[in-house]
Amino acid sequence: MSDDHLEGVYIPNQDAAFANVVLHDYLAAIKTNILVTPPDKTALIFADQSISYHEVGHHVAAIMATFRQQGIRAGSVVAICLHKSPEHVYTTIACALMGIVWLPVDIQAPRSRIDYLLTNSRADFAVSQGPLSPLSGIQITIINIDTARGHNEPIDLRDWSCAYDLSRRPAYYLYTSGSTGKPKCVVLNNQATANVLQQTIAHWDITHNDVCMAITPFHHDMSVFDIFAPLSVAATLVIPTTEQQKDAGAWATLIAKHHITLWCSVPAIVDMLLTVSGHDQIKTLRLIAQGGDYIKPSMIALLKQTLPQARLFSLGGPTETTIWSIWHEILDDDQHTIPYGKALAHNQYHILNEQHAPCETGTIGTMYMSGINLSNGYLLDGEIHHNDFMPIETINGGVVMAFKMSDLGYYRDDGAIIFSGRKEGYLKVKGVRIAASEVENALSSHPGIHHVVVISCTNPNTEINELVALYTINNRHDTSNTNRVSKQHLSAIDLRVYLKDQLPSSHIPSKFLLIDDIPLTANSKVDRNKLLSLAQERLSIAPTPVIAGIPTDPSLSAEVIDTILPLFKSHLSEHQTQIQTLGGNTQLLALNLKPKQLMTIATKLSQQLNVSLDFYSLVACKTLGEVMAKAQLALDHP
């Protein structure tokens, strides 16, 4: 992207409005740290390997040298197509220091989606571990990360001038769900990012003694904090391996082993951590921050009981308002409702009615946000657009540019905002904002589905929001053998497999409910409230799965049990089948399965449930119950 193309893309008046705000240069701090921090100071921990700040500096400098050799300069767009790893961090820092617009890509997303992300972003280069699959119609230069790290020319980062600044020029792109059925590319800048980091580091008292956990995927906005905040204060960042990323037990082990002090994630992840960990494993956590979804008061009560000395924070704000733009420290008074909070410094939240007039205290309205955290807008086909960004009049009569959210809320007497739901069409599940239309469009393309509506509702067992698809089938009134589509032909597994080629795993429903007809309102619109009630009722009365006549853990679905038990049974000898009744307490060692058999079971299990479970995942389990719990975890939290 040329410098000329970047002209005129700023939100009007934003530069002038915050020209006098003094911000700490987090990128200069990172550069200083990787140059002068003592050699034995650990910057990153990955796969039991400690990587010093000096080593990080060497890798960053090598990647920067490769970029310069390739002719990549400030304003170029580089897609980072890497697994979550130290290499991803090196590349991100190299891009940021050179003023290169960086785009983290979910490489596990469907090929067609990656094509769209790169095409829409006008990416010039892509950094990957190896060759990318053929991209349809995209002219893009691929840089192998191993080659870049192996750059063998003499490198000294001190001699290299960096081309970034803390202005509102585009610095990085992040994709979020859009109401049109296509992902939206949010254009973010260094000024807004610096404000979030500066406010958070000061308010949370983050120092070089802290150890943080990078639990959020690197293509989500909360991960921007994970990467830049610790390294800017010479702290340590622990990065889970691919195998550890979905294993809550592994998280607890990492916390205990590396004395992790700071945890920041969506509430569902905290819930999973609390479920599997003991107090001794997580006692080093001094601060836990949760954002992106509803926080259960019951979970806060458990956290306060388990870690009474830890500070707890609620975080909020969509990607368009940079990482987080509103927060609340959760105290003992917050027993029944966890406030959305108050805006970070240099920002303001507005609650307006349909006439764009301010709502009185206690009156629900639409949230708008203005201030330094505002992003630059959306990138569509390489051009900046400002949909959902609009000028509003403030209480004192001034006019500011603001982002209109899909969130509803009201002001409490103390000025804190209380979240009250979302406008129809947008859902928030496990911290990911999802446009219902995007999932509905993908499911509607299935030849067997007639009509589908996607909602989110609370699982009565886990109290966690789940994405639920309610659908009707084609030819449901046709009784001929050739046209009839049965429920069996549209199993949840089949539908998940179908969606896997079109949507990221975060957008694939965890429950699929077949219904006779889609209810309509008096105005002939889809009655989503009635569907929500129906889904909630169906989930609440779902029968408890039974193994060998004994009710199982209610969090286990019949789908998981009915897949795992027959699969293991099919690999037993005839003698074992006669004497062995399989159940949750069955010891894996007692089945005398050979490694090759376990490998086959892991492969078939992953295929049938559309999850990622390998041989080592099964070997780590002592009982079939642990296998089922691990499979359910992978299914519910892809």
Mean pLDDT of all residues in 189-202: 97
For 380-419, the pLDDT digits (tens) are: 988 899 888 999 988 777 888 999 998 888 999 999 998 8
If phi over 0 gives left and psi between -120 and 50 gives alpha, with beta otherwise, what is residue 312? Answer: beta
Token pair of 150, please? Answer: 């192996």
| Residues 6 or more apart whose Cβ sits within 8 Å of residue 283 | 307
- Closest to 244 measured CA to CA, from 358, 83, 450, 444: 83
The confidence score (pLDDT) of residue 15 equals 60
3 state DSSP class of 9: coil
Of 273, 197, 280, residue with least CA distance to 23: 197
SS (H, E, C) 422-491: ECCCEEEECCEEEEHHHHHHHHHCCCCEEEEEEEEEECCCCCCEEEEEEEEECCCCCCCCCCCCCCHHHC
Which whole number is the average pLDDT over 612-627?
A: 80
User: pTM here?
Assistant: 0.73
CA distance 473 to 560: 24
Question: What pLDDT, on a 0 to 100 scale, did the predictor assign at position 426?
Answer: 65
Please provide residue 620's backbone torsions phi and psi, each rounded to the nearest 5 degrees. -75, -10
In this predicted structure, which of 403-417, 479-493, 502-516 has the lowest mean pLDDT? 479-493
Least confident among 238-247, 481-490, 534-543, 588-597? 481-490
Q: In Å, what is the CA distance from 190 to each residue of 157, 167, 228, 402?
A: 21, 6, 11, 18
Measure the N-to-C terminal CA separation of the chain; round to a whole number of Å.
34
CA-CA distance, 168 to 190, in Å (whole number)? Answer: 6
DSSP 198-249: HHHHHHTT--TT-EEE--S-TTSTHHHHHHHHHHHTT-EEEE--TTTTT-HH
Quote the tokens at residue 483.
């046209």
Enumerate domains of the chain plus CATH numbers: 53-164 (3.40.50.980), 426-540 (3.30.300.30), 546-636 (1.10.1200)
Q: How confident is the model at residue 636 (pLDDT cuts 50, 70, 90)?
A: low
Contact 61, 160 (CB under 8 A): yes
Rounded to 5°, the CA angle 351-193-433 comes to: 55
Q: How confident is the model at residue 12 (pLDDT cuts 50, 70, 90)?
A: very low
Length of the chain: 638
Cα–Cα nearest to 321, from 231, 440, 402: 402
- The model's pLDDT over 281-331, given as tens digits with 9 standing for 90+, comes to 999 999 999 998 778 787 898 899 999 999 999 999 999 999 999 999 999
Mean pLDDT lowest among 59-63, 117-121, 205-209, 275-279: 275-279
Element (H, E) at 378: strand 377-380
Q: Determine the distance from the C-alpha atom of residue 307 to the mean position of all C-alpha atoms in its chain, rounded to a whole number.
A: 25
Sign of the dihedral defined by the CA atoms of residues 116, 120, 124, 129, in that order? negative
CA dihedral over 573, 578, 583, 587, signed as positive or negative? negative
* 221 pLDDT higher than 80: yes
Do residues 617 and 630 make contact, with C-beta atoms less than 8 angstroms apart?
yes
Residue matched to tokens 């280069």? 125
Q: Tell me if 329 sits within 8 A of 355, measured CB to CB.
A: no
Judged by DSSP in three states, 513 sits in strand
CB 416 within 8 A of CB 342: yes
* Residue 422, φ and ψ in degrees, nearest 5: -130, 155
Nearest to 373 by CA among 96, 92, 21: 21
Distance in angstroms (rounded) separating the CA atoms of residues 530 and 520: 9
Distance between CA atoms of residues 334 and 329, nearest Å: 9
Mean pLDDT score, 247-276: 90
Gap between the Cα atoms of 606 and 584, Å rounded: 19
CA-based nearest residue to 182, from 268, 101, 121, 125: 121
- Per the CB < 8 A criterion, the answer to whether 384 and 9 are in contact is yes
pLDDT tens column, 96-139: 999 999 999 999 888 888 999 999 999 999 999 887 766 666 78
Query: pLDDT band for position 590 (50/70/90)?
Result: confident
Using CA atoms, how far apart are residues 232 and 237, in angstroms rounded to an integer?
Answer: 11
pLDDT bucket at 143, cuts 50 / 70 / 90: very high
Contact 350, 394 (CB under 8 A): yes
Among the ranges given (335-349, 426-440, 596-610), the one the predictor scored with the smallest mean pLDDT: 426-440
CA 171 to chain centre: 20
> Could you give the CA distance from residue 363 to residue 149 in angstroms, rounded to a whole number?
56
Query: To the nearest whole percent, how much of the chain has pLDDT over 70?
Result: 85
Task: Retrieve residue 43's tokens.
Answer: 């910057």
Whole-angstrom distance, CA of residue 176 vs CA of residue 220: 8
Q: Tokens in use for 306?
A: 């388990």
pLDDT value of residue 576: 60
Largest separation between any pair of C-alpha atoms in the chain: 83
Mean model confidence pLDDT for the chain = 84
Task: Please state the three-class secondary structure of 403-440 as a single string.
Answer: EEEEEEEEECCCCCEEEEEECCCEEEECCEEEEHHHHH
Q: What is the mean pLDDT of residues 540-548?
A: 49
The structure tokens listed for 413 are 């007497």
pLDDT score for 122: 92
pLDDT by residue (tens digit) across 149-187?
877 666 676 777 788 999 999 999 999 876 666 889 999
> What are residue 354's phi and psi, to 5 degrees?
-65, -20
- CA-closest candidate to residue 562, choices 596, 523, 605, 595: 605
Confidence (pLDDT) at 341:
94
Tokens of 125: 């280069």
Highest mean pLDDT among 164-173, 240-249, 489-498: 164-173
Pairing of strands 389-393, 399-411: antiparallel
Place of tokens 């990323």: 245
Check whether 439 has a pLDDT greater than 80: yes
Q: What's residue 79's pLDDT?
A: 97
Which helix (H) or strand (E) segment is 563 a member of? Answer: helix 558-569
pLDDT on residue 487:
45
CA 142/CA 172 separation, integer angstroms: 19
